[in-house]
Amino acid sequence: MKGAIIGDIIGSAFVNDNLPTTEFQLFKPTSAFTDDTVLTLATADSVIHQKPYKETLIEWTQRFPEAGYRPDFLQWAMNGGIEDYKSEGDGAARRISPIGFAASSIEEALTEAKKSALITHNVPVRLEAAQATAVAVYMAKSGATRKEIKRFISVHFGYDLNLNVTHWKSKIHSGETLSTPVPPAIAAFLEASDFEEAIRLAILIGGPSNTIASITGALAQAYFKHIPKAFIKRALARLTPDMESLMENFETAKFQEKIIEGQK
């Protein structure tokens, strides 16, 4: 999960930029957490403390109402989620990585990701994006090879993962709209040799850089098992104490049982 938050913070300063190379300053004075981080932490809170996903989504949004949410989502959360809400945005996939890290099987990752996504994104393409992200993170942290991850996600979700970072960068900057940021985020992960390169490639793609880098960051953490200490230190400096505490508690937690019995 830490990788997702770092990706969001770094990517926040590059949204819609068209960078020529991967040689750029990673952390800028304007680098900050966004709603991606807040809602990722909300999911982690559910996983650790056995709380319903909807409850923590509302709680964390109300705690940090100025993190950059879609206006209709913010209104829904600030009103306590009393009405049904359905978004066409990418929020489900970008908040889902804690489920992938905590899941004990592919089946559990699929089931829990759908439960979480249904609350706000009851749209097939969004549900699938959340499930694909959770499963890819689960497989990466469980020792699957990148070839195995690529094959599984391609077969089960129909994503063309033969498309590389250069393709996605060209697609975005030609004005095309992504149906989901998950395939380009996975592409950056598949091409990288370590965590830092994964983040740099994700941001090079352009478009919603914080969201793409957040998904890529989660995958890179799960697969490479290492994040440079300097990245962690700089990211922590941009979080509040309660955010930092929850993140660290999640990173050190041992998930032995089913993720959240309280989600029934």
**pLDDT tens for the chain, residues 1 to 264:** 999 999 999 999 999 999 999 999 999 999 999 999 999 999 999 999 999 999 999 999 999 999 999 999 999 999 999 988 888 777 789 999 999 999 999 999 999 999 999 999 999 999 999 999 999 999 999 999 999 999 999 999 999 999 999 999 999 999 888 889 999 999 999 999 999 999 999 999 999 999 999 999 999 999 999 999 999 999 989 999 999 999 999 999 877 555 544 444
What are the CA-CA distances from residue 17 to residues 12, 31, 50, 104 (Å)?
Answer: 10, 14, 39, 38
- Flag whether 257 is in a domain: no
How many whole angstroms separate alpha carbon 25 and alpha carbon 236?
18
Quote the pLDDT of residue 259. 55
- Flag whether 239 is in a domain: yes
Range of the domain at 199: 2-21+32-251
Quote the pLDDT of residue 194. 98
Number of structural domains found in the chain: 1
Please indicate if the annotation marks 211 as binding a ligand. yes
Please indicate if the annotation marks 17 as binding a ligand. no
- Flag whether 264 is in a domain: no
- Flag whether 27 is in a domain: no
Quote the pLDDT of residue 90. 79
Quote the pLDDT of residue 85. 86
What are the CA-CA distances from residue 7 to residues 63, 100, 160, 170 (Å)?
Answer: 22, 16, 23, 21
The CATH number for 174's domain is 1.10.4080.10
Please indicate if the annotation marks 180 as binding a ligand. no
Contact 69, 102 (CB under 8 A): no
How many whole angstroms separate alpha carbon 244 and alpha carbon 157?
34
Contact 88, 80 (CB under 8 A): no
